[in-house]
Amino acid sequence: MTIMKKRSSIAITLAVVFALVLREMQTRFGARRMGAFWMLFEPIAHIAFMMFVVTVIRGRHVPGMEYPVYLLTGIVPFFLMRNIALKIMEGVSANKSLFVYPNIKPFDTFVARAIVEFALAACVYVLLLTIMGTWFDFDVTTHKPLQWLAALFTGIVFSFGLGLVMCVVGEAFPNSKTFMRLAFMLLYVLSGVILPLWRLPPQILPWLLCNPYAHIVDNLRSSFFEHYPEINGINFQYPFAAALVVLFMGMALYRLRQRELLAI
Amino acid sequence: MIELRNVTKSYLHHRAGRKFIFRDLSFTVPPNRNIALIGRNGAGKSTLMRLLGGLDVPDRGKIVTDKRISWPVGLSGGFQGSLTGRENVKFVCRVQGVHGDQMRSRVQFVEEFAEIGEYFDLPVKTYSSGMKGRVGFGLSLAFDFDYYLVDEAMSVGDAHFRDKAAQAFKDRVGRSNLILVTHGMGQVRKMCDYVLLLKDGNVIPYDDVEAGIAAYQGG
């Protein structure tokens, strides 16, 4: 055995994140028979069921757009953002036993979890769009891909920062996790994922637009569809500013509480 | 050398209030000695070991060292139950920055050291606690540390494995040292040449092993 040589901190972080991503994937794949299939099938079934309920049973539609595609373009990114935030919130408590090994820091588990969630959501999104485009003859091309990517990036950064804040708060006050999880149910309803924002009474719209997720979901859709009705007050600046602020807050809180998070 | 400077450590419990384990504890561990940490139950042995291993941080004060101290030897809490022993070992190798041939040789080392046969390729949740301990033990030995933290882990497994483990540490004499937390005075006599006796939140060092053991047994 040779003596271990000193590595740069970036090399250590990359190695740790890579190992964690692999471990997370192995765990999810290997948890059940046909794990890879179930891993994709579960979210797809969930989303397909929601689409069925809303479009067929309740018969909702949105003028100018195909409702299933409308729903899909909101629901998958929203679930991604929600999962990133919630998974990061649990990142420390779920990986606590790993912090005995030198080099593994809570932040590495956050990054790894975000990567895993992103990869999973990307697969689900592409798969569902392909199915809808090929067999159901929906128009599934993104109208402004770069703008769409910018909106998604904003959403991921915002969720990552929010997850950091939630994790630090959740570790300090474990009971608060229940409320934060519930808050995401509320956000799901209030972000215009299922119901278009313009259907809501105009007097409550300014209040709803305090929620960055409402902006992000709407930005994603307005970049996806060519003819998307413009809603007053929706913009790219507000969620991006919110993302930066939350990310900064999250990092600052993490820095302050790093030692407590690491302690087993 | 490992030095503790004014280390204070307490735990907060929602019913019992704040319990202090150490207040302003300072001492120095001399270099190149095999150290035995002994003391009664609740004297703070495990807490001290967690602090040394970096599993926990002091409320105040510092632990200064230029040595690489292992995670507790034989620890298997970090294993993911649904992954195999091999996958878990590979994970730790990756984290430590070991790739390719190096990784293969270390995984092989752990496999041979643990001697659990085909179970090495089965999920860890199917292991008995002894088997988990064996893999954990081999995993710690696969990496080079200046100090190995051993928390009564020498009692892992059967007599054959215990001998093997003791031999593994004997082979490392001169390269690595031991910090042993135990109640077994036989092990202290066999493995260590320096005693730290924990008593009422204080650490009393004994250069002479027998004197330390006598102080511990005398209460």
Stated as kind and residue range, the H or E segment containing A20 is: helix A9-30
List pLDDT tens digits, range B4-51: 888 888 887 777 788 888 888 888 888 888 888 888 887 888 888 888
Q: B83–A30: do the CB atoms touch at under 8 Å?
A: yes
Residue A111's pLDDT is what?
A: 93
Give residue-wise pLDDT tens across range B149-190: 887 755 666 778 778 877 887 787 778 888 888 887 877 887
Cross-strand bridge partners of residue A93 = none
Residue B217 CB coordination number (10 Å): 9
Interface A-B: count of C-beta contacts within 8 A? 70
Least confident of A25-39, A107-121, A250-264: A25-39
DSSP string, B63-96: EEESS-BPSPBT--TT--TTSBHHHHHHHHHHHT
Q: Is B27 in CB contact (< 8 Å) with chain A? A: no
By the 8 A CB rule, do B188 and B11 touch?
A: no
Residue A10 in contact with partner chain B when CB distance is under 8 A: no
pLDDT at A240: 92
User: Is it the case that residue A165 has pLDDT exceeding 60?
Assistant: yes
Joined together, the tokens standing for residue A32 give 């059940």
Q: Could you tell me what percent of chain B has a pLDDT over 90?
A: 0
User: Given a cut of 90, is residue B212 above it in pLDDT?
Assistant: no
Q: CA-CA distance, B122 to B118, in Å (whole number)?
A: 7
Q: Which residues in chain B have Cβ-Cβ distances shorter than 8 Å to A27?
A: 80, 82-83
What would the mean pLDDT of B111-128 be, rounded to a whole number? 85
State how far the Cα of A213 lies from the Cα of A220, in Å rounded to an integer. 10
Q: How much is the pLDDT for B154?
A: 56
Taking the C-alpha atoms of residue B163 and residue B159, their distance in angstroms, rounded to an integer, is 6
Q: Does pLDDT of A115 surpass 90?
A: yes
C-alpha dihedral (B168, B169, B171, B173), degrees to nearest 10:
170
- Give which of B83, B64, B93 is closest to B6, Cα–Cα: B64
Of A1, A26, A100, the CB nearest to B75: A100
Which residue in this structure is represented by tokens 């999810």?
Answer: A28
Q: Is B71 on the interface with A (CB under 8 A)?
A: yes
* A6 to chain B: closest CA residue: B97
Q: Which chain A residues have a beta carbon less than 8 Å from that of B72?
A: 100
Q: How many CB atoms are located within 10 Å of the residue A149 CB?
A: 13
B54 vs A contacts (CB less than 8 Å): 102
pLDDT at A1: 40
* Residue A259 contacts B where some CB pair is shorter than 8 Å: yes
Query: CA B219 to CA B33: how far, in whole Å?
Result: 25
**A residues 101-120 lying closer than 8 A (beta carbon) to B:** 101-104
* Contact flag B144-A263 (C-beta cutoff 8 Å): no
| pTM for the model | 0.83
Of A11, A26, A263, the CB nearest to B97: A11
Q: Is A135 on the interface with B (CB under 8 A)?
A: no
Among chain A residues, the shortest Cα distance to B97 is held by: A15
The ipTM, to two decimals, is 0.76
pLDDT above 80 for B83: yes
- Interchain proximity A22–B91, CB inside 8 Å: yes
Q: How far is B176 from chain A (nearest CA, A)?
A: 12
- Mean pLDDT on B91-109: 86
pLDDT of residue A64: 67
Subunit contact A263:B57, Cβ cutoff 8 A? yes
The predicted structure's pLDDT at residue A245:
95
- Residue B187: how many CB atoms within 10 A of its CB? 18
Least confident of A92-96, A106-110, B125-129, B173-177: B173-177
The region that residue B152 occupies, defined by phi over 0 for left and psi between -120 and 50 for alpha, beta otherwise, is left
Closest chain A residue to B53 measured between Cα atoms?
A100
Nearest CB partner across the interface for A15, out of B72, B94, B102: B94
Grade residue A242 by pLDDT with cuts at 50, 70 and 90: very high
Minimal-distance CA residue of chain A relative to B98: A4
In A, residues 150-179, which contact B (CB 8 Å cutoff)? none
pLDDT digit string, tens, across residues A121-145: 898 889 888 888 888 877 778 888 8
